[in-house]
Each structure stands twice: as C-alpha cells, then as structure tokens.
Amino acid sequence: MPKKTPRRERKPDDTQNAHILGAGEVVRQPVTETMEHNFMPYAMSVILSRAIPEIDGFKPSHRKILYTMYKMGLLGGTRSKSANIVGRTMQLNPHGDAAIYETMVLLSRGYEKLLHPYVDSKGNFGKAYSRDMQWAASRYTEAKLEHISAELFRDIDKDTVDFTENYDATMLEPTLLPVSFPSVLVNLNSGIAVGMASSICSFNLGEICETTAALAKNPEHDLGSTLLAPDFVGGGQILYQRELFEEIFRTGRGSFRIRAKYTYDKASNCIDVYQIPPTTTAEAIIDKIVDRVKAGVIKEISDVRDETDKSGLKVTIDLKRGVDPDQLMRRLFRLTTLEDSFSCNFNVLINGTPRVLGVRELLLEWITFRVGCIRRRVTFDFNKAQDKLHLLEGLAKILLDIDKAIRVIRETDEESDVVPNLMIAFGIDQAQAEYVAEIRLRHLNREYILKRTADVGQLRRDIADMRDILGSEKRLRDIMIAELSKVAKDYGRERRSEIIYACELPEETAQPAADYPVQFFLTKEGYFKKITPASLRMNDRQKCKEGDKIAQAVEGSNVCDLLFFTNRCQVYKAGADDFEDTKASALGEFIPARLEMEEGESVTAMVVTKDYSGYLLFAFENGKIAKVELSAYATKTNRKKLIRAYSDKAPLAAVLHLPADGDCLLSASSGRRLLFHSGAVAPKSTKDSQGVAVMTLRRAYRVEDLRTYREGQFQNPNRYRTKNLPAAGVLLAEEDRGEEQLSF
C-alpha cells in the first residue's frame, strides 16, 4: 500500500484565515439549497439592478453616469476628460472603469447608436455600425451632457423622485430620473438578464410625445394614427405591415423587417449603401457578400469594400457589366443582413417587477410616473410657498411698529431672549421671530419691509392655484402635456427611417440556385450541416456537441428540398440553398431555432428530395407502418410548415424515404427482425393515416428502427421473410450478428 503523507499541523499563523470558524471544512448541501442561497440572489440582482431598464428608460449604470455628469456641472459649459467622468462615476458604480466608459460611449453622440444621445462627445467614440472601429481610451476623449439631458434632471432638486444611498453610504443618488418625455421608447435599449431579456426599439420623439399627450386625454386613443413605426438613428427602410405593428404595439413582442438604403452610381457602375439596419455592421455585410460570391451563389459582383469615412457610412459594391442593380439588391436583401429583422421585447421594470408591456400600457405607466413627479414637484413648491408666506406675514406685523421691534431687541439683556420677547411683543410664532431677528439692522426700514411684503397677495394666489392643481388630476395632466409639447418643439426631428409598405415592393425575379453536389448531416439533437464533397475529403471527422451524434447522412445537391419531421407530427420545409455550406469541424445550424419551431419541438427525421417522387414509410412503435406518397407533401404555395404530417396515435419510431418499392428491414426492441417488401403495404391517401399492422409485438416490446435492406446484409435473408403480414419476425442468426452491428 502507498505510504500515507503525514498530515501537517497548522500553526496559529499558518494562514491569515486561521481564525475563521469552519474554514477549510467540506459541507454537504442540497443543490436546491445552494441555488436558493447563491444563484437566486445573483439572478434577481441582474434582473433588478443591471440588465432591465426602468420606466424612466434607463438601467442603473446609465443613471449613475448621467447623474454624476449632472453633479459635475457638465450640463453646460466646457467638456471634461472622459477619464475624469469615469473616475467620479465610480463613487456610485463600483465596477471597473472599462465597463463604465463603455456604457458612456453607448450614450454618446459620436457612437451613433441612440436617436437622441445624452452625451456630447469629442474624440474617437467608435461607431455602432462598425465592428472594427473601436473607441479611443478615456484619457483621449472628452464629454459633457447634451442639451436634451436637461429634460432628464428637470426639477430633480424639488423632491420629484426618491434618493437612495450609494454602495458605501457616502452619497445619495436618484432611484429614477424625473424625465419629462417617454425616454423609455425614444431611444434603443436592450439587455440580457437571467431567464429574461429586453429589447426596446426607438421611436420618433415628436410622434411619441404626440401619442403620449393623446393617451393622457383619451386612454383609448388609436396608436396607429399618431405612432407610425419605430425610427432608428441609422435610418434604413422599415417594411410596414399594419397587422404586424398592431400586434407589437398591443403585446410588446414581435419582430419586423428593416432594410438598407442605397444609391446607384451609373458612371462608376457601383452601388453605394449608406444606411443599414441597426442589428448589423458594415463588416458583417461585406463578409456575407464575400461568402456568397465565393460559393458561386452571386456572380454579378466584381468587388465590395468599405469606404466609410468622416462623412458617414458607405459600403461600395462594384457590379459587372449589364447587371440590374435593383434586381441584385433584392437578392442581397434576401441573402445578407442588408435586410434584417429587429425583435421587440418591451420588458421593463415597473415598481421593481419585470413586465412585458405593449406600447399603450407602457405609455400609460409612464404617464402615471410623470404625473407623480409633477405632483411631488408642485407639493414641494406649495410647501415652500406656504413657509415663505408665513414668514412674510410675520414680517408684515413688524411693519406696524418698527421702532418697537428695535426697542425690544435693544432692551433685551441676553441674546437668547430676543426671539421670545419678539414673539410676545408682536404675537408671532418662533419661526417668524427667528426670521425677523436675523434681518440686518440696515434692512429694518419701511422701504425694505414693504418690498418684501408686496408679493404677499400674489403668493397667496399662487398657493391657492397650487392647492387646486394638487386636487385636480386633469390639471396635473395638462401640465405634463404642455411640457411634452415643449420637448417635442425644442428637440423633435424629422423621421430618419423611411416607411415602405411591404405589399408594394417589387418581387424578386426567381434566380436558380447553384446546382452542385453536397451531403446533408442531421444529428440526434437537431443540428444540421451541408458539406461539399471537396470539404469532406479534406476532413471527414464530424464535430458534435457532447452527447450528440450523427443520426442521418444523405447525399444530394444544392437544389434539393429538405423536409424536417418533428415530434409534434409536423413537417417544416426548406431549400438546401437556404443553408450555408459548412465544414465537418463546425457544429452546424440548430434546426428548431432556424425554422422557428414551437417551444419544445424537436426534429425526428430529415427527408431530402428533388421532385417529390417515391414514398415515405412511417414506422410506429406499435408495429404499424403508414405508407404515404411523398408528393402529398409538395405544395404549390411556399408554405414552410405543414401540420398533421403523420399520425399521432402511436409514437413514431422511424421515417424512411423510398424512391421505389423495395425490401425493408424492421427491428424491434426484442431483438427480432422482419424483412418485408414495401409493395405489400398499400399507400394511404391521407398523411396522418394510422397505417397497417406489419409486425406483431408482445406488450413489453416496441419497434425501434426501419431501414432499407442492403443486398448481402444477411447470409440467409429468407430466414427473416414471411408470407403473410403482420408477422412477429425472428431473432438474428449467429452468423448475421456481426453484419447487423456493422450496419447500425
């Protein structure tokens, strides 16, 4: 036996943690308890304090940076070094300077991500539309707040929002900003939390303010009449479908398409793309075009390059002679991210609870929030005015006999008795007496006192007006509407994103896909690969996720149709040319996500065809087989999904595509095999037929597999045949076991 290493005794100073009770002990703890005590607090912190914006439109990191800049006096005047701003922000945000600086960059005008940026930047702040154009270090750039940021902090010192202590309780910071416009929908905002995410598109400021004002007057206002569609700082063309946007506005979820804008230079025979979707970059578009050209899918392009400069984005595509630029762009819209989808998920924290809201509900929540801010502001002014009136009323009593006030003060022996003596002499309270006692001797004259008390009447009228405002919801909303109108007038701009109706777009002329041989691979977990023979010759070792393996390998061509049958008795159709050529070393594309399958739906089988000839055999675990002509799945329209693709009366064991009738081998979990001719099974006219019984099974067993019989697979194939169906099949002969194992 190996000699045990003697345990080293720990000296009192052996480690700095020697005094910690239980240090170094291994404690057994249920995983559920560990999740509850460790993971759940982390998840809640990410959701509530990091990734999801609140009703004011900001995440905590945004709010801390903007408030720090506001307290630094950067709302006006000269810019400050970004490094200085980042350092000061760390008093509120105890994260690394790199994370703070990146957040500030995303808020800046120079980065060009926000429709209405909040940070006025100077220097290289990178570009949102470029993957490679990175921002300079914080020591080289400068920043201050944009003019519109004044609307974020309007009346913040008048108790409009709550304040809380920072992480070390040395400062106070606002929990929300009293924004005077719905910034939550004016600027792009996205975040990924734990188990949830948020993706809010930007809208035109003028349209949002008009819609919010209309909703404040009438909660049933028709949103589509004032809020047309989103608006992005990068412009582009939004493909408008009324029903689609009505659904997004109603539920806060959905996606819409946005495409790039371009011009054609006839003299140079090139296309200049100058606006792209917000979900992509110039480099990603160029890479996609290059890949398509190399694959032979696009042959009309001679060169593509990035000519972005200080004047803005520009991707130039040189064309070959005689190419129709508009027709080519329609193909590029389909094949590249020059046209992309923007997914909406209006997930916002409302009173500390994440909620996915439609536009109407979100704006109504903002109206409630803003009216609350205005009420708190009016209450603050009301209390201040009342206090001022109370002091001036005491001062007015002094006006009756200034000489008496001077005499009382002069004849008082001790300083502490001045205030009580004034209270007794003029019948005023302590606050009024303190105010009078603090007046300088030079101001104890009739002129000064008359000037100070002249506005008492106006002050009383203001107090009465403020009391009326606090008692009227309508007046509070009128104030909010007036402020919205001013914001729209001062900062509103024309739309940048053009709205085009999808139904009016010219259809793309069908371009035949490049026809070349490929091999298709499908894994058990649903990953798909399309690989050319040349690529396979270089490396045929297939890479799969841990625990996954290749389930099907089918030879075909790039013009084939692919049918993916799922566990929900549905089939999804796609063209082989819809998928990129890949390599054996890649994981492939996850089919349920690519074809937008339902939640929990998975791929069970893949069928490859060119002309929909032949048959499909559906083998069910109960021993029945349904034979359906493949032409039943050919559709005249471009439907991508067919329901009731096969029967749901019994679990599906296998799907087999036969170009023509032939011998098939059925395998059961009992180890029995049955060899039969598919011609013995009559085809059914309905796709979801239950089929006919082919193999009889005992209760504990089920059919596991169905495949075509290879000539020579068994030494005596007649052993496994039968004259009549259904049949029980026979166990494998000893001489066939090796062949059978090799074939699986």
pLDDT tens digits along 613-669: 999 999 999 999 999 999 999 876 667 888 899 999 999 999 999 999 999 999 999
* Bridge partners for 499 per DSSP: 238
Give the type of residue at 725.
Answer: L
Q: Tell whether 83 is covered by a domain.
A: yes
Give the model's pLDDT for residue 510: 52
Last residue of a domain, one of 429, 458, 490: 490
| C-alpha to C-alpha distance for 673 and 664, rounded to whole angstroms | 10
SS3 sequence of 162-205: CEEECCCCCCEEECCCCCCCCHHHHCCEEEECCCCEEEECCCCH
414 and 291 housed in the same domain = no
Q: Are residues 733 and 626 in the same domain?
A: yes
Q: How confident is the model at residue 343 (pLDDT cuts 50, 70, 90)?
A: very high
**CA distances (Å), origin 377, targets 162, 352, 370:** 12, 23, 10
Query: Is 479 among the domain residues?
Result: yes
**Residue 26 falls inside a structural domain:** no
Same domain, yes or no: 313 and 376: no
Domains identified in the chain, total number:
5
**What tokens does 517 get?**
């041989």
Q: How far is CA 379 from CA 92, 298, 467, in A?
A: 29, 67, 9
Residue labelled with tokens 């809208």:
203
Q: Is the pLDDT of residue 15 over 60?
A: no
Is 491 known to be catalytic? no
What is d(CA 55, CA 61) in angstroms, rounded to the nearest whole number?
Answer: 15
pLDDT of residue 8: 45
Length of the chain: 744
**Residue 101 belongs to some domain of the structure:** yes
Higher pLDDT, 512 or 503: 503
pLDDT at 249: 94
Whether residue 449 sits in one domain with residue 393: yes
Q: Domain residues for 735?
A: 615-630+649-744
Q: What's the token pair of residue 552?
A: 């099907």
Q: Are 389 and 381 in contact (CB under 8 A)?
A: no
The region of weakest confidence among 57-66, 137-146, 289-298, 437-446 is 437-446
pLDDT at 5: 46
- Let me know if residue 690 belongs to a domain: yes
- The pLDDT score that the predictor gives to residue 11 is 47
Which residues have a Cβ under 8 Å from the Cβ of 478 and sit 6 or more positions away? none
Residue 220 included in any domain? no
- Outline where DSSP puts E strands in 409-503: 498-501
> In this structure, what is the dihedral angle of CA atoms 620, 625, 630, 635, given to the nearest 10 degrees?
-60
Q: What is the pLDDT of residue 1?
A: 44
Confidence of residue 2 (pLDDT cuts 50, 70, 90): very low
E strands, 578-651, in order: 589-590, 603-609, 615-620, 624-629, 641-642
What pLDDT band is residue 347 in, cutting at 50, 70 and 90? very high
Contacts of 574 (CB under 8 A, 6+ apart): 561, 562, 564, 594, 595, 640
What pLDDT, in 10s, does the model give residues 222-268? Answer: 999 999 999 999 999 999 999 999 999 999 999 999 999 999 999 99
Helix (H, G, I), strand (E, B) or coil at 565: strand
- What's the rounded Cα separation, in Å, for the pair 70 and 174? 12
CA 334-192-247 angle, 5° bins: 55
Coil, strand, or helix at residue 552? strand
The span from the CA of 384 to the CA of 463, in Å, is 10
Read off the tokens for 72: 């630094």
Q: pLDDT exceeding 70 applies to what percent of the chain? A: 94
Rounded Cα distance between 168 and 215, Å, is 42
Residue 43: both structure tokens together? 């998840």
| Shared domain check, 485 and 537 | no
**Domain assignment present for 582:** yes
Percent of the chain with pLDDT over 90: 61
E strand spans, 659-724: 663-668, 672-677, 692-693, 703-708
Distance CA 195, CA 173 (A): 28
Provide the residue type at 121 as one letter. S
> Final residue of a domain: which of 179, 201, 236?
179
pLDDT attached to residue 4: 47
Alpha-carbon separation of residue 244 from 224, 448, 602 (angstroms): 12, 68, 27
Residue 375 sits in the same domain as residue 486:
yes
Q: Which of 42, 118, 129, 140 does the annotation list as catalytic?
A: 140
Q: What's the mean pLDDT when you consider all of the chain?
A: 89
DSSP class of residue 53? -
Q: Tell whether 669 and 547 lie within a shared domain.
A: no
Q: What is the pTM of this model?
A: 0.70
Q: What is the pLDDT of residue 599?
A: 86
pLDDT average, residue stretch 333-347: 93
Domain boundary among 179, 194, 229: 179
Residues 6+ apart with CB under 8 A from 186: 57, 115, 116, 202, 203, 205, 208
CA dihedral (252, 150, 103, 122) in degrees, to 10, reads 130
- The confidence band for 508, taking pLDDT boundaries of 50, 70 and 90, is low
Q: Which residues contact 290 (CB under 8 A, 6 or more apart)?
A: 304
Sign of CA dihedral 152, 156, 159, 163: positive
Is 21 buried (19+), middle (13-18) or exposed (0-12) by CB count in 10 A?
exposed
pLDDT value at position 734?
Answer: 84
Q: Return the CATH number at 303.
A: 3.30.1360.40
> What integer is the mean pLDDT of 30-35?
79
Q: Answer yes or no: do 450 and 544 share one domain.
A: no
Outline where 279-358 has alpha helix (H): 282-294, 325-335
Residue 23 pLDDT greater than 70, yes or no: no
d(CA 579, CA 527): 12
Q: Is residue 540 part of a domain?
A: yes
Same-domain pairing of 594 and 619: no
CATH number of the domain residue 678 falls in:
2.120.10.90
d(CA 272, CA 293): 18
- Cα–Cα distance for residue pair 25/35, rounded to 1 Å: 20
* pLDDT (0 to 100) of residue 195: 81
- 579 band by pLDDT with thresholds 50, 70 and 90: confident
Query: Long-range CB contacts (< 8 A, 24+ apart) of 381-390?
Result: 381/158, 381/466, 382/463, 382/466, 382/467, 382/470, 385/459, 385/462, 385/463, 385/466, 386/463, 387/431, 388/459, 389/456, 389/459, 389/460, 389/463, 390/431, 390/432
pLDDT at 10: 45
pLDDT digits (tens, 9 = 90+) for 599-615: 889 999 999 999 899 99
Torsion of CA 364, 365, 367, 368, to 10 degrees: 120
Distance CA 75, CA 71 (A): 9
pLDDT at residue 116 is higher than 90: yes
Q: Are residues 129 and 173 in the same domain?
A: yes
Report d(CA 429, CA 439) in Å as an integer.
16
Residues 560, 599 within the same domain: yes
The per-residue pLDDT for 86 is 95
Flag the least confident range among 109-113, 316-320, 575-579: 575-579
For residues 584 and 623, membership in a common domain is answered with: no
